[in-house]
């Protein structure tokens, strides 16, 4: 296909061309925003390595009842309504990797932004949240921790 044929196709399929252009722009904007958000998404396998090698603090932001039904071994439960980067539970971990976990990953992203703003250097979010952990067939611990 040459350039003239491409232009003719785009002219005949204006709506398709518009949708394609909009999707392309959306993908580019999303990728650029990922670069500048200040934290990284971790896959479950990467989280296990970080926990074992660098003593990462894993903070589970889900409600206490969900946490008690099953959580990542060694994680600490902090309710999002009580989430404070300067709390006695989080402040000592400024130099450690901190991994935030929620149900799907979106609540953890908001908390990660707050940690970065408070000066935490190594902030991560579990990609896919606790659901991603389960999909990777990794174990959960029941109880309050």
pTM of the model: 0.75
The residue annotated as part of the active site, out of 99, 100, 102, 126, is 102
Q: Are residues 61 and 26 in the same domain?
A: no
Per-residue pLDDT tens digits for 16-55: 889 988 999 988 887 776 666 678 899 999 999 999 999 9
Looking at the DSSP bridge assignments, the partners of residue 76 are 59
73: domain CATH number is 3.40.250.10
Q: Are residues 24 and 42 in the same domain?
A: no
Does 142 reside within a domain? no
Q: Are residues 26 and 48 in the same domain?
A: no
Q: Is 102 a catalytic residue?
A: yes
Where are any strands of DSSP class E within the chain?
40-42, 57-60, 76-77, 97-101, 122-126
**CA–CA distance from 140 to each of 39, 136, 137 (Å)?**
24, 11, 9
How many domains are contained in the chain? 2
State the residue range of the domain holding 13: 3-35
Per-residue pLDDT tens digits for 67-121: 999 999 999 999 988 888 888 878 888 889 999 999 987 899 989 999 988 889 8
């Amino acid at each position: 296909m040459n350039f003239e044929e491409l232009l003719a196709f785009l002219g005949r399929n204006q709506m398709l061309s518009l949708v394609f252009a909009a999707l392309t722009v959306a993908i580019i904007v999303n990728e650029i925003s990922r670069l500048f958000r200040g934290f990284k998404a971790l896959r479950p396998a990467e989280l296990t390595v970080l926990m074992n090698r660098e003593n990462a603090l894993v903070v589970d932001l889900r409600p206490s009842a969900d946490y008690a039904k099953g959580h990542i071994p060694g994680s600490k439960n902090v309710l999002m309504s009580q989430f404070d980067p300067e709390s006695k539970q989080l402040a000592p971990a400024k130099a450690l990797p901190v991994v935030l976990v929620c149900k799907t990953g979106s609540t953890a992203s908001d908390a990660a932004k707050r940690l970065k703003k408070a000066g935490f250097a190594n902030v991560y979010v579990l990609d896919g949240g606790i659901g991603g952990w389960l999909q990777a067939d990794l174990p959960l611990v029941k109880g309050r921790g």
